[in-house]
């Protein structure tokens, strides 16, 4: 139910089957340990847009957008899940970035453009706040439109076409009760929330700190994630047999993507 810290792309996502007596409440279709098939994801076509010019990095598609010096030092930013970002030009086809929150590294990233300038490969290592585990991801994006002139080769409008993530970012557990739902994953993210729409604390996440739940149908739950009272994303979970569909509507980036998971 996470999300891609999807900072370039800011996602982070365990169940013994218990015999239930006739007197016990029926198990929800959402209950269980799920594993996401990231290869089948239907990703938003909205591109990520940034460029580096005259030793400055400009994140155009960030909300809010920002401009920082591309000199490898921590630069303050506001309105993001992180509060500093460093950008360093590695060579004429690669850049490296590090984002931090309160001085702690959230993620490290390299972005490398292909020889023909049409494909960008982004390798990310994320550090969850409540875990010693790391999450790795490799994102591939294609250039949309014409490559800009007079800027670093990684610059442009990039549409994500493929994502690969480590297994600890793709596995999660849902456990329901009569009036709520619990979520947990291997990276330490978790919550316990009621279906009454009240905000509940989310532990182990950078991108948001509360969640509120609404039960739409017996097999469907809508989760609204917030960061400091601002809605970050709305996630709709729908279970059908051994398949769980997760539709992520990111209100910050304006991107909607759909993912499917299989019960383990």
Cβ-count burial 185-223 (b if 16+ within 10 Å, e if not): bbbbbbbbbebeeeeeebebbbbbbbbbbebeeeebbbb
CA distance 70 to 97: 9
CA distance 256 to 260: 14
Q: Answer whether 213's CB lies under 8 Å from 220's CB.
A: no
Quick one: residue 253, left, alpha or beta (phi over 0 = left, psi -120 to 50 = alpha)? alpha
Q: Model pTM greater than 0.85?
A: yes
Place of tokens 């499917």: 260
Domains and CATH numbers, the chain: 32-42+170-263 (2.40.128.20), 48-167 (no CATH)
Beta-carbon count within 10 A of 82 CB: 20
Please name every residue paired with 104 in a beta bridge, in sequence order, or none if there are none: 101
Which pair of tokens denotes residue 81? 């899940």
Supply φ then ψ for residue 149, to 5 degrees.
Answer: -100, 150
**Is residue 64 within a helix (H) or strand (E), and if so which, with residue range?**
none
The tens digit of pLDDT for each residue in 157-207 reads 999 999 999 999 999 999 999 899 999 999 999 999 999 999 999 999 999
The tens digit of pLDDT for each residue in 208-264 reads 999 999 999 999 999 999 999 999 999 999 999 999 999 999 999 999 999 999 999
Beta-carbon count within 10 A of 139 CB: 24
Give yes or no for a cis peptide into 64 (omega within 30° of 0).
Answer: yes
Which pair of tokens denotes residue 7? 């900072």
The tens digit of pLDDT for each residue in 52-68 reads 999 999 999 999 999 99
């Amino acid at each position: 139910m996470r999300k891609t810290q999807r900072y370039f792309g800011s996602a982070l996502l365990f169940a013994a089957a218990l015999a239930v007596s006739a007197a016990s409440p029926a198990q929800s279709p959402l209950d269980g340990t799920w594993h996401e098939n990231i290869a089948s994801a239907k990703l938003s076509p909205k591109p990520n847009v940034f460029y580096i010019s005259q030793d400055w990095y400009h994140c155009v598609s960030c909300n809010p957008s920002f401009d920082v010096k591309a000199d490898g030092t921590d630069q303050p930013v506001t309105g993001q899940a992180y509060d500093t970002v460093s950008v360093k030009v590695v060579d004429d086809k690669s850049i490296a970035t590090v984002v931090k929150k309160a001085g702690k590294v959230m993620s490290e990233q390299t972005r490398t453009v292909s020889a023909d300038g049409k494909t960008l490969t982004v390798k990310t290592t994320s550090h969850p706040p409540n875990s010693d585990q790391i999450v790795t991801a490799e994102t591939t994006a294609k250039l949309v439109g014409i490559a800009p002139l007079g800027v670093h080769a990684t610059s442009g409008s990039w549409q994500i076409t493929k994502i690969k993530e480590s297994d600890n970012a793709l596995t999660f557990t849902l456990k329901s009760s009569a009036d709520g739902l619990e979520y947990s994953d291997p990276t330490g993210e978790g919550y316990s929330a009621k279906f009454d729409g009240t905000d509940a604390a989310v532990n182990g996440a950078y991108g948001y700190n509360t969640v509120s739940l609404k039960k739409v149908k017996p097999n469907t739950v809508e989760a609204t994630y917030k960061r400091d009272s601002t809605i970050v994303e709305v996630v709709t979970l729908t279970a059908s047999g051994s398949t769980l569909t997760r539709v992520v509507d990111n209100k910050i980036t304006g991107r909607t993507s759909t993912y499917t998971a299989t019960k383990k």
